[in-house]
Amino acid sequence: MAAAGADSGALRAAAPPFLTLLGVALPLAFAALIDQYLHYLRPAQLLPAYATAWLLTAALTAPLFVALTVVLWGLGRSDRLASVREVLARALLALAAAVVIATLIKATKLWFYTFSAGEHPVPELTAGTQWLALALGLLVVLTSAGRRAVGRVSRLALWSTLAGGASLALLPLNGWPDAAPELARSQAAGADPAQRPNIVLLSIDALSAQHMSLYGAARPTTPRLDAFAAGATSYTRAYASGNYTTPAVSSLLTGTRPWTHRAFQLLAWPLPETRVRSLPAVLAHAGYQLGYVSTNAHAGAAALGFGADFQFAAHDATHDTTLCSDALMAHFKYACAAAELPLLSLFDRLAAAAHDREHDNAYADPSLATGRALEWLAHVDHRRPVFVWVHLLPPHSPYAAPAPWLGRFDPSPDARTIAETEPAWAYLLSAEPPARVRTLAARYDESVSYVDQAAGEFLARALALLGDDTAVIVTADHGESFGHGYGAHTGPGLYEEIIHVPLIIRWPHQRQAAHEARLTEQVDLAPTLAVLAGESAPASWEGHSLLSAAVAPARVFSMNFEENRRYAPLTTGSVALIEGDWKLVHYLGALHYPLMPALHDELYDLAADAGELNDRAATEPERTQSLRAELEQELRRHAARVP
């Protein structure tokens, strides 16, 4: 009986911080983020998202709970250590109180951020706040009334924790579908799969065409891709359909623009009707063996809902550790949403510190990804066609590259670590000193050179493994901005530096260089590859095959709707229409970004003003009005609420 009492006493003493974490802090923090969640989740999806957060929190804290219970049980078996056990039990009560206090502070800050319409940066729980919460927690348990209050909160937290545990029953009902419905068989579907070419798709994160020597950049940033392009076709006017990873990669894979697939927010995924008629689904139907390697969860097939179409997946091929990962998203659809919670984002920061990421410029070493892809290609069945997609993370921020690339374009001692090369995003860059911006641009170019080396080596080895009857596509999800007082990517900025991306296609058996100056955008890749594979493009796709003899419309679109709720009518965002040499940027609704100036529609003549320094909207009113009418007509076609 005494042993049983000691066991239950140890459990009761160890439980308070964990019960308050799962039963008080978690629901409070989740409630504070509901408005943000509803930008990309339906109300019915909040419960499985909460269940995922509960599961991850419980899984991460359970080992510590068990260890503390064992320690307290051991201390309880010795009378000499009774005082130590009592001190530890009081400390755990203080920790429980501190968890509640810190969560209330954080939730209040988050609610203030929500009601201030995003005019202030998202608040972080600073070290000072954490120490304050811990000090207040200690004060609470110094009094008998405080200890009784913590006990009452712990009992309420127990019931809340049990309710959260019960929500786990929703997870099996809210995962990804096992497989896409069978596509209608095309006229070419009876062809022998062995006669179809292999396809290699290499997407490079945040690679701006304007920073590549292949596209005229002053620095020799891409010698390996320059050499590869000597036997390929370079498209000089290729555009991203969105200005950051999630919408852009979704467009690349679905053949539809963001206003159709609705993956507006970073943690969103394309609508089901666009996923089941996607490029991976078409190629799987054509008999291809599909494989991919992800380095960015937001460019992972599993995280975007395409995982069922791939037979091979190498998730998260970096040295980084994060809960928002392609691997977790393959099994838990709401893992990235859950990882937004302060309780779980702390894990990412601790993992980064454990890996010494702040000092390791090779945390996203491209060879980790290319090596996995090449290993698969070496052992795949070469009697059937292959589609392999590799996404490389550099030169995405932070920009610091490892030696020997670091310092190649700027030998100064400034901005040489991961911590020092994270940019100021969007309009916040306008507050940065010009010298700092120039240094960051140089570090970015060094990272471009770093990934160029890896890309060139990978392409040579992949072609050696797959043979000459292979199509190779090199492109980017988006670019990166250092001008116009606008940093990095995302937000309403649709500058050329961000949306003008490389597109190099080496067609099967191609030997000579070719150059194409026609306008293209990411939605053109899916129909191009479908036709190359002998399949017809679904009618829902918005792009045009680059293999088609028909003349495609001489216009492209790029857009950002991240502040527009995913399922709501399109009222807030920015859209660029490029037609011929003219570019109109149209802003919709009330946008909220720190340091954002007053925005109005802009018109640029890209032939005469490639740097977009001379807004012609006022001096070309008729052209501005004509392009805006054309753009608004397209917006009306796509603006309705998603049922």
3-state secondary structure 237-287: EEECCECCHHHHHHHHHHCCCHHHHCCCCCCCCCCHHHHCCCHHHHHHHCC
Phi and psi torsions of 422, nearest 5° = -85, 125
Residue 260 pLDDT > 90 = yes
The whole-number pLDDT of residue 120 equals: 47
The whole-number pLDDT of residue 211 equals: 98
What value does the mean pLDDT take over residues 405-429? 96
The whole-number pLDDT of residue 149 equals: 74
Q: For residues 398 and 418, is the Cβ–Cβ distance under 8 A?
A: yes
Poorest-confidence range of 70-74, 161-165, 449-453, 537-541? 70-74
What value does the mean pLDDT take over residues 295-307? 95
Q: When comparing pLDDT for 260 and 68, which is higher?
A: 260
Q: When comparing pLDDT for 102 and 267, which is higher?
A: 267
Superfamily designation of domain 195-317+355-551:
Alkaline Phosphatase, subunit A (3.40.720.10)
* CATH 3.40.720.10 in the chain, residue ranges: 195-317+355-551
Cis peptide before 280 (omega within 30 of 0): no
Cα 347–351–357 angle (5° rounding)?
Answer: 140
Spatial distance between the Cα atoms of 547 and 637, rounded to a whole number of angstroms = 27
Q: Which two tokens stand for residue 197?
A: 């070419």
| 61 DSSP assignment | H
Residue 4 pLDDT > 70 = no
Residue 125 pLDDT > 70 = no
The whole-number pLDDT of residue 25 equals: 86
The whole-number pLDDT of residue 186 equals: 42
Residue 619 — very low, low, confident or very high, per pLDDT cuts 50/70/90? Answer: very high
Residue 67 — very low, low, confident or very high, per pLDDT cuts 50/70/90? Answer: confident
Q: For residues 619 and 630, is the Cβ–Cβ distance under 8 A?
A: no
Residue 99 — very low, low, confident or very high, per pLDDT cuts 50/70/90? Answer: confident
What value does the mean pLDDT take over residues 507-528? 97
The whole-number pLDDT of residue 128 equals: 66
| 544 DSSP assignment | -
Q: When comparing pLDDT for 118 and 614, which is higher?
A: 614
The whole-number pLDDT of residue 129 equals: 66
Query: Please, what is the end-to-end C-alpha distance for the chain in angstroms?
Result: 61
Cis peptide before 398 (omega within 30 of 0): yes
User: In the chain, pLDDT over 90 holds for what percent of residues?
Assistant: 70
Poorest-confidence range of 113-117, 311-315, 425-429, 607-611? 113-117
Residue 463 — very low, low, confident or very high, per pLDDT cuts 50/70/90? Answer: very high
Q: Is 234 helix (H, G, I), strand (E, B) or coil?
A: strand
The whole-number pLDDT of residue 284 equals: 95
Q: Quick one: which of 557, 551, 561 has its CA closest to 627? A: 557
Q: Which of 110-114, 187-191, 529-533 is modeled with the greatest confidence?
A: 529-533
Most distant pair of Cα atoms in the chain: their distance: 90
What value does the mean pLDDT take over residues 58-78? 82
What value does the mean pLDDT take over residues 500-516? 97
What value does the mean pLDDT take over residues 110-126? 57
Residue 115 — very low, low, confident or very high, per pLDDT cuts 50/70/90? Answer: low
Q: When comparing pLDDT for 357 and 144, which is higher?
A: 144
Q: Which two tokens stand for residue 371?
A: 């090596």
Is the overall model pTM greater than 0.85, yes or no? yes
- Per-residue pLDDT of 396-412, as tens digits, reads 999 999 999 999 999 99
What value does the mean pLDDT take over residues 434-453? 98
Spatial distance between the Cα atoms of 285 and 275, rounded to a whole number of angstroms = 14
Q: Quick one: which of 476, 474, 499, 503 has its CA closest to 489? A: 499
User: In the chain, pLDDT over 70 holds for what percent of residues?
Assistant: 89
For residue 7, count other CB atoms closer than 10 A to its CB.
14
Residue 184 — very low, low, confident or very high, per pLDDT cuts 50/70/90? Answer: very low
Spatial distance between the Cα atoms of 212 and 16, rounded to a whole number of angstroms = 56
Q: Is 414 helix (H, G, I), strand (E, B) or coil?
A: coil
Question: Residue 436 carries which side chain, given as an amino acid letter?
Answer: R
Q: Which two tokens stand for residue 15?
A: 């439980």
The whole-number pLDDT of residue 114 equals: 61
- Per-residue pLDDT of 149-174, as tens digits, reads 777 777 888 898 999 999 999 999 99
For residue 188, count other CB atoms closer than 10 A to its CB.
14
Q: When comparing pLDDT for 22 and 136, which is higher?
A: 22
What value does the mean pLDDT take over residues 456-478? 98
Spatial distance between the Cα atoms of 311 and 606, rounded to a whole number of angstroms = 43
Q: Quick one: which of 343, 337, 338 has its CA closest to 99? A: 343
Poorest-confidence range of 190-199, 287-296, 319-328? 190-199
- Helices and strands, number each (H, E), in the chain: 20, 12
Poorest-confidence range of 23-32, 212-221, 451-460? 23-32
The whole-number pLDDT of residue 621 equals: 97
What value does the mean pLDDT take over residues 47-66? 93
Where does 531-570 show beta strands of DSSP type E? 555-560
Q: For residues 386 and 289, is the Cβ–Cβ distance under 8 A?
A: yes
Poorest-confidence range of 26-30, 437-441, 583-587? 26-30
Where does 104-209 show beta strands of DSSP type E? 198-204
Q: For residues 477 and 299, is the Cβ–Cβ distance under 8 A?
A: yes
The whole-number pLDDT of residue 137 equals: 66
Q: Which two tokens stand for residue 220?
A: 């020799």
What's the whole-number average pLDDT of the chain?
A: 89
Block residue for tokens 């191609």: 510
Q: When comparing pLDDT for 362 and 571, which is higher?
A: 571
Output the CA torsion sign for 322, 326, 330, 333.
positive
